[in-house]
Structure 1
Amino acid sequence: MYNVMLADDEILDLRGLERFIPWEELQMNVAAVVNSGLAALEYMKTNIIHILITDIRMPIMSGLEMSRKALQLHPHLKIIFISGYEDFQYAQQAMQLNAQSYVLKPINDEEIIQALHKVKAQLEQETQRTLLENAYHKTLPAIKNDLLIQLYEGQLDWKANAAMLTEQYGIKLSQSELTVAYIEIDDLSWKLNTYEEHEAKAIVNRVYQVIDQRCRQHDICTLCKLSAHQFVMMVESNQQYTQLLNDLIREIASTFPITITVGLGNAFSSFEQVQISYQQAQKALDFKMLVGKSIVIRYGDMEVNHVKEVQHWEMALDALFVEMSNYHLVQIHDELEHLFTIIRNMNSKVKVYNSFIQIISKLDAYLANINEDLFQMPGIQLEGLHIISKFETIDDIKTWIRKKVFEISELLHLKKQKKNNRLIESINIYVEEHLHENIALRDISNHFSFSSNHFGVLFKQGVGINFSDYVVNRRMEKARSLLQDHQYKIFEIAARVGYKNQTYFSRQFKDHFGMTPGDYRKQS
């Protein structure tokens, strides 16, 4: 309901307007009836008024003067002037105040109703525009996060988007060199196992809030979330910001039951080199297995032999996990033999034991990406892992690991057969319910607790097309259906199917159906 104020020094005119206009049908409410400009202003100081209907000529304070002051209180106020004087000078002044209508006395009910319909349409249009603007501003942080991820991963054309990133998000090159800092929460798979799920999520969220707060304090506007436990940002490559990262590591360790480790890529001076530094920062974190955690690890400080050792180890583990997931029993055997060949070359008992702990940790992380919990599987309990330290030979440990790997692979195989059909059905429902939103592969994979890559593969296997193509198809089909209902304008239909930019929507619609939305509506 829209609130209306009637202001006129002639009581009969006021009562007539109040009684004979069908206010309820117009979805309007006469909130106040006053006979002076001073009384009108006094009411509007503490109450919301959407529409003001006022006589131009009133004693002490004219309707024109009162309207000027009322607009200062409510800039979006809609005004309809009434006057018994057919004088162009009054009409001209009324128009200067952006009056919606100018009605002469004696008042014609149809004329005033027509003016109110016009005002109502304007208010509804402004309300819709405000809702769309608010929705857009709410999505800005997510849009910025996605743009930054694209920048780090080399998927964003920096030159084409430089103005937007600089002006809208404050992302720009520093006068000194920059480096990418890749932040990862350590041992998340088991350190928070003693907490309830909501408590663990709250801890992880607070860790991110602390990191975000420190970035804001140091004017770092390039922080983004890659996942719940991995974050990345650009910092200046100097001692001050290295100290900031070390301070952040200490603050997290002293405040929370978890720690973070930071990987630093090499310095760069142009955004064309961001992706290289980002990839180096990722690789620096791989050295955590060898050099420890809760520290800053510089990619440039790693020795060549460490690089090769980590690469071989990571490749062997990745290959083993893939074969386990696919239930390839012969290949599982071969990859285990390869992995143990690497382990036998380790020259330290501590390294050997640590390598097996890493196998379990990496396996847990891998299973989490496919929505499985290692420590909820039969025969795998966290406290039971201490048995590894009691084995006296590599062969003893190998026998134990081998048995568990085959058991897990068989369990995954049985669960996968039941799960895939239910998953695709749930994804279809989710997409239909969220077509009006920005449905990114990363977001929906997080929603269903998968990694983006694994989710994309699962979806294509189940549906036959890429997820992004599927979403576009569903949006276009829904848009085509909505275009047959002429109550919706094209920009409203674009918003309903997830497009903030009508031009981009029209271009995609034409690519899809061979004609613009407007042409399709005419044909249908």
Structure 2
Amino acid sequence: MYNVMLADDEVLDLRGLERFIPWEGLQMKVAAVVNSGVAALEYMKLNTIHILITDIRMPIMSGLELSREALQLYPHLKIIFISGYEDFQYAQQAMQLNAQSYVLKPIDDEEIIQALHKVKAQLDLESQQSLLENAYHKTLPVVKNDLLVQLYEGQLDWNANAAMLTEQYGIKLSQSEFSVAYIEIDDLAWKLDTYEGHEAKAIVNRVYSVIDQHCKQHGIHSLCKLSAHQFAMMIESNQQHIELLHDLITEIAATLPITITIGLGSVFSTFQQAQISYQQAQQALDFKMLVGKSIVIRYDDIEINHVKEVQHWEMALDALFVEMSNYRLVQIHDDFEHLFSLIRNMKSKVTVYNFSIQIISKLNAYLATLNEDLFQMPGMQLEDLHMIFKFETIDDIKTWLRRRVFEISELLHLKKQKKNNRLIESICTYVEEHLHENIVLRDVSNYFSFSPNHLGQIFKQATGINFSDYVVDRRMERARKLLQDHQGKVFEIAGQVGYKNQTYFNRQFKEHFGMTPGEYRKQS
């Protein structure tokens, strides 16, 4: 609905316009009816008006004067002038004010309706253009983020999109050298567990806002989100921008309940080299496991052998978590020995403590993929993390962590067994209800949303026999009971337990009970 104001010092003309024009059909409504330019202007200062229909000649403030003031308030205001005088001078001034129409008194309803249709078409077009412009401006940050991610990951289509980074977003490489900074929120897996979901999200958003604000202050336009807790940007390799990274770490640690660590790649001078610096920044950030967090870690300061050690530790952790979720106790023990043989190569107690905390953090992240919460499990409350710093030897830490992992593995195993038991009960019920039909593992697995192979393995582990053998056993047992009742012919009973071929039914029955169905019935 567009708001219309009627302004005329002649009351009868006002009432006629208000009453006889089909405003609703034009998707308009008369928001105000005033008899002076002063009153019209006062109203417009407090309320939005889209269309002004005004008499040119009014006392004190003319329609032309009103229009000039109104256009200052609403530059896109549409104006229709009404005049009782065929005066070219007025018409000429009206056109200079970009009037949409000039209607003479006495007013012809059809003429003013036609003028209103024209005004509505203009307003609709402007509204549509405004929506498109707003949508475009909203998508600009998203497109920019996607382009930067593609740049850092080496997937950017240079022919199609490289120019957009420089021309549209102002990201340019000057004579200076640049480095990619990879920023990660520390310990997100457990530090925000004590907060409500919306509070935790607000804290994470605040981190990004602080980083974004600092980037804008230093003219850095290359910040992008890699995930909810990881960000990247290109900074000039000068002291001012290096200090910016340290300032970010300090401010976030001082104002928020979490910290950030930054990996910094080697310098480059062309967009095509950004991917290498980005990968180096990632590797530097992985080194947090050894040197600690809430610092800037330069790739150029890392020894290559240490990088390989970190990769080995991560692989050992991944293997340990897989064995834990599958309840392979011997392998868990062996993986723990291998993991801590790597930890023993560390050179300081602080590094060992940091790594131990990283094990717990990564364990919590892994359990989250299984829809489990580490800190909701017995013996693993958040305050228990402080226990690690009370241990004086690596063996003490290893013993404590290994016990926790064994307990978690057993808990997962019991949950899986309980879940599988419910599943097996449901499968058995399904079989009993469908014995008269053609039952195959593929159909049953589809019904329970499993793959046939996986469901078959679960069933055999729980029952000790193959699914097809179980179905045959249940059919034979049902047939045996039906034969004992001495009601129904053998071929009818065969059909009731899912056999269309009586000969095949007779053969399977004899294999199970050592006699044919007829012999069994006679014996019964």
**For 2:176 and 2:81, how far apart are their aligned partners in 1?**
62
Residues 154/323 of structure 1: CA separation in 2 closer, same or farther (3 Å cut): farther
Query: Is the contact between residue 316 and residue 338 of structure 2 (CA under 8 Å) also seen in structure 1?
Result: no
Alignment of 1:344 with 2:341, yes or no, is yes
Which amino acid is 1:406 matched to? S
Which amino acid is 2:76 matched to? H
Q: Unpaired runs of 5+ in structure 1?
A: 419-460, 464-524
Which of these residues, 407, 410, 430, is aligned with residue 410 of structure 2?
407
Report the equivalent of 2:446.
Answer: none
Deviation at 1:236, TM superposition (A): 1.0
How do 1:169-184 and structure 2 match up within 5 A? 169-184=169-184
Report the equivalent of 2:261.
Answer: 261
**For 2:66 and 2:409, how far apart are their aligned partners in 1?**
84
User: Which deviations, in whole Å up to 9, do the C-alpha atoms of 1:339-375 show, x marking residues without a partner?
Assistant: 6335325346946666544322211123335653211
Deviation at 1:275, TM superposition (A): 1.7
How high is the TM-score relative to the length of structure 2? 0.67
Report the equivalent of 1:225.
Answer: 225
Report the equivalent of 1:519.
Answer: none
**For 1:70 and 1:158, how far apart are their aligned partners in 2?**
49
Report the equivalent of 1:301.
Answer: 301
Residues 123/298 of structure 1: CA separation in 2 closer, same or farther (3 Å cut): same
Residues 404/53 of structure 1: CA separation in 2 closer, same or farther (3 Å cut): same
Query: Is the contact between residue 313 and residue 339 of structure 1 (CA under 8 Å) also seen in structure 2?
Result: no
How do 1:91-170 and structure 2 match up within 5 A? 94-158=94-158, 160-170=160-170
Residues 5/202 of structure 1: CA separation in 2 closer, same or farther (3 Å cut): closer
Report the equivalent of 1:28.
Answer: 29
Query: Is the contact between residue 313 and residue 339 of structure 2 (CA under 8 Å) also seen in structure 1?
Result: yes
User: Which deviations, in whole Å up to 9, do the C-alpha atoms of 1:199-228 show, x marking residues without a partner?
Assistant: 444443333333333222222222223333
Deviation at 1:114, TM superposition (A): 3.3
**For 1:415 and 1:79, how far apart are their aligned partners in 2?**
75
Which amino acid is 1:227 matched to? S
SS of residue in 2 equivalent to 1:248? helix
User: Which deviations, in whole Å up to 9, do the C-alpha atoms of 1:500-523 show, x marking residues without a partner?
Assistant: xxxxxxxxxxxxxxxxxxxxxxxx
Deviation at 1:89, TM superposition (A): 7.0
**For 1:248 and 1:226, how far apart are their aligned partners in 2?**
18
Which amino acid is 1:33 matched to? V
Residues 376/172 of structure 1: CA separation in 2 closer, same or farther (3 Å cut): same
RMSD of equivalent CA atoms: 3.8
Which amino acid is 1:376 matched to? Q
**For 1:381 and 1:66, how far apart are their aligned partners in 2?**
71
**For 1:78 and 1:95, how far apart are their aligned partners in 2?**
12
User: Which deviations, in whole Å up to 9, do the C-alpha atoms of 1:320-348 show, x marking residues without a partner?
Assistant: 445656x4x56x86576356335325346
Deviation at 1:280, TM superposition (A): 0.9
For these two proteins, the number of residue pairs brought into alignment is: 417
Residues 462/296 of structure 1: CA separation in 2 closer, same or farther (3 Å cut): farther
**For 1:321 and 1:174, how far apart are their aligned partners in 2?**
47
Deviation at 1:299, TM superposition (A): 0.8
Rg: which structure is higher?
A: 2
SS of residue in 2 equivalent to 1:261? strand
Q: Unpaired runs of 5+ in structure 2?
A: 422-448, 452-524
Which amino acid is 1:263 matched to? G
Residues 11/150 of structure 1: CA separation in 2 closer, same or farther (3 Å cut): same
Query: Is the contact between residue 185 and residue 258 of structure 2 (CA under 8 Å) also seen in structure 1?
Result: yes
Deviation at 1:261, TM superposition (A): 1.4
SS of residue in 2 equivalent to 1:169? coil
How high is the TM-score relative to the length of structure 1? 0.67
Report the equivalent of 1:19.
Answer: 19
Query: Is the contact between residue 179 and residue 234 of structure 1 (CA under 8 Å) also seen in structure 2?
Result: yes
Which amino acid is 2:334 matched to? E
Query: Is the contact between residue 6 and residue 54 of structure 2 (CA under 8 Å) also seen in structure 1?
Result: yes
SS of residue in 2 equivalent to 1:268? coil
SS of residue in 1 equivalent to 2:267? coil
Residues 107/301 of structure 1: CA separation in 2 closer, same or farther (3 Å cut): same
Deviation at 1:234, TM superposition (A): 1.5
Query: Is the contact between residue 364 and residue 374 of structure 2 (CA under 8 Å) also seen in structure 1?
Result: yes
How do 1:187-198 and structure 2 match up within 5 A? 187-198=187-198
Deviation at 1:304, TM superposition (A): 2.0
Query: Is the contact between residue 245 and residue 296 of structure 2 (CA under 8 Å) also seen in structure 1?
Result: yes
